[in-house]
Amino acid sequence: MTDTERWETELGATAERADRDGALNRRRLLKATTGVAAGISVSGCLDSYETLAGSTDSDDDDPVTIGVLAPNPDSDYIGRSIVRAAEVAVTELNDDGGINGRDVEMAVGDTNESPLEARRQYQRLVLEEGADVTVGVFTSEALMNIVDNIAEQETIHLTSGAATTEVSRLVNEEYDRYKYHFRVGPINDYDLGRTQVDFMDDMASKIGWESVALLAEDYAWTEVPWDVYQEQLAETGVDIVMQERYPPATDDFSDIYDRVEAAGADVAFITAAHTGNEALADWAAPQRPFAFGGIHVPMQLPAYYEQARHPQTDAPLAEYGVTYDSATAQSTTTSKTQDFVNHYQEMFDGSNPVYTGYHTYDGIKLFAETATEVGTVDSDDLIPALEDASFTGTVGTLEFYGRDHQVEGKEYGHTHDIVYGEDAHHPIYSQWQADDGGEGVQEIIWPEREATAEYAEPDWL
């Protein structure tokens, strides 16, 4: 977290504490309005009562509003995919008759990658736009800065970008207050660590990654996965010859990679988002004598192969890079995956979604299906149904950890987070490879049941 983000988070939390008791709550406002209407009826003002009651009934004919929270959707691929996927979902829902006969609309809030702005936009969407549900949010800092607002407004929020387990621990420990939060994806930061370990356990010996240099950018989001690596990675049998959490401001990996090389590592196994471009370039351009893979957020971008080029040779830097992902345009995880990809491409000039798009789409479709089954969009009525849901989405089966969930060996659980597992949502690992025409393809190399290609060793090794 940057100093600015930390300051904004602290400021937002302070403001939250200061105004919580007096905050405007849409649910309380509606209840109060109902009470006023009843009072008018008792006093005999029938015409006035019918006006108020009529407006209440007409709410059932008003559109269902989906509030979408995304960072810089006009310029940032993460935010753009959140908004575009929501558009795809809303379009499909309206083509199918809406939700319970009501049209569906969306209102967008640009969080601007700021925790404080995320809070402002959340309040605007719920209090001014009348959102019946909100979806999105990319950074963990932004999510944590609105979690108390979500509780205050008693309106379901479906996270589709942030991975922090801090929020699911709150749901686990203070269920009645925080039960309105659900994470439809990605898997939480603890399960991110587990999937890295599972990948290495299954694939390391097959692809020659027997000695590992473990690297992670020193941001808050990598802390929990790093702890999982410390606890579990050695059990896979790989030899951890180096491990380093490097500073967030790192823009030159020469010294780090010198140490990786000196340690004799087969792979730099990385966890990076903010520093991903520099980490990749300093590996690929000089053709370092080890492989490169792990969680690398920029490499998840479908256009990254063309965008990240060698400054002298114009060669694609991402070729041979391996990264975790929720899905790619090649995925056939369920019968819905390619349908979504195709519709997304049709609506947006052939472009492909990134991981936040798959999760946003799934979240909205899950909400709609549940609301149809229950017959309402009321959050308190929907929560039990969401908790029992087993929904086939684009990235697998969406189910949520329960109210009494407990992490093995821990004293806490991850209530309302998407379940990670082979029969639930299981992420994939892809490798950028060139096809016969020289175009970059995100080939899936794990899990085996979804693989579209075998792992390809860098041609300079």
How many domains, the chain? Answer: 2
Is the domain of 266 the same as that of 363?
no
37: in domain: yes
Q: How much is the pLDDT for 244?
A: 98
- At 245, the amino acid letter reads R
Close Cβ partners of 28 (under 8 Å, ≥ 6 residues apart): none
**Together in a domain, 375 and 307:** no
Q: Are residues 180 and 302 in the same domain?
A: no
Q: Which residues pair with 417 in a beta bridge?
A: 183
Residue 168 in any domain: the answer is yes
Structural domain of 288: 190-325+427-450
> What pLDDT score was predicted for residue 25?
56
Q: Is 207 among the domain residues?
A: yes
Closest by alpha carbon to 5, among 248, 186, 210? 248
For residue range 215-274, what is the model confidence (pLDDT) as tens digits? 999 998 999 999 999 999 999 999 999 999 999 999 999 999 999 999 999 999 999 999
- Those residues of the chain that have pLDDT short of 50 are 1-24, 26-58
Do 461 and 291 touch, CB atoms closer than 8 A?
Answer: yes
| Confidence at residue 50, expressed as pLDDT on a 0 to 100 scale | 29
Per-residue pLDDT at 410? 86
Order of strands, sheet of 104-110, starting from the edge strand that comes earlier in the sequence: 104-110, 64-70, 133-136, 157-159, 181-183
**CA dist., res. 380 & res. 117, Å (int):** 27
- Strand 239-246 relative to strand 133-136: parallel, antiparallel, unpaired? unpaired
Q: Is the peptide bond before 186 cis (omega within 30 degrees of 0)?
A: yes
pLDDT of residue 312: 87
For position 59, what pLDDT does the model report? 54
Q: Does one domain contain both 162 and 304?
A: no
Predicted model pTM:
0.86
Residue 209 shares a structural domain with residue 237: yes
311 plus 250 within the same structural domain: yes
In a domain, 404, yes or no: no
Pair 177, 196 in one domain: no
Residue 391, domain member (yes or no): yes
Question: Is 334 part of any domain?
Answer: no
120-134 pLDDT, tens digit per residue, is 999 999 999 999 999
Residues 166 and 17 reside in one and the same domain: yes
